[in-house]
């Protein structure tokens, strides 16, 4: 599955647009990781625990979007975007959206 943020792929042509595809996940912080984050916040620097959590969330959301695209018969997703929204104190939703298409070589 080819996934791009652009509306086209050099050397490929869109032969059919199938429609919107999406994938999302909602994740909550973990109290143990919050304690480590507080200490890191005091001394400064990257909060690795949250970076890892967001990276895992992003991959899961992309996997779900790919699954959605495959169910539609797509071989590519163009114009992909991602958003993050706070759901509640300590929980966030990460969503990815794109357009499922069938592409062929030019």
CATH code of 28's domain: 3.30.110.70
Element (H, E) at 46: none
CA distance 56 to 28: 12
The C-alpha angle with vertex 49 and arms to 45 and 54, in degrees rounded to 5, equals 105
pLDDT tens per residue across all 106 residues of the chain: 999 999 999 999 999 999 999 999 998 766 555 555 565 566 666 777 778 888 899 999 999 999 999 999 999 999 999 998 888 777 889 999 999 999 999 9
Domain count within the chain: 1
CA distance 86 to 63: 21
Element (H, E) at 1: none
CA distance 89 to 1: 35
Task: Say whether 89 sits in a helix, a strand or coil.
Answer: coil
Tell me the whole-structure pTM to 2 decimals. Answer: 0.82
- The boundaries of the domain holding residue 15 are 2-105
């Amino acid at each position: 599955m080819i996934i791009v943020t652009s509306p086209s792929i050099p050397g490929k042509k869109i032969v059919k647009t199938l429609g919107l595809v999406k994938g999302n996940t909602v994740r909550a912080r973990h109290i143990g990781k919050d304690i480590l984050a507080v200490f890191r916040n005091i001394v400064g620097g990257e909060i690795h625990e949250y970076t890892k959590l967001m990276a895992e969330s992003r991959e899961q959301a992309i996997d779900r979007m790919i699954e959605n695209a495959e169910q539609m018969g797509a071989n590519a997703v163009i114009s992909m975007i991602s958003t993050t929204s706070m759901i509640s104190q300590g929980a966030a939703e990460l969503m990815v959206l794109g357009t499922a298409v069938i592409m062929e070589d030019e």
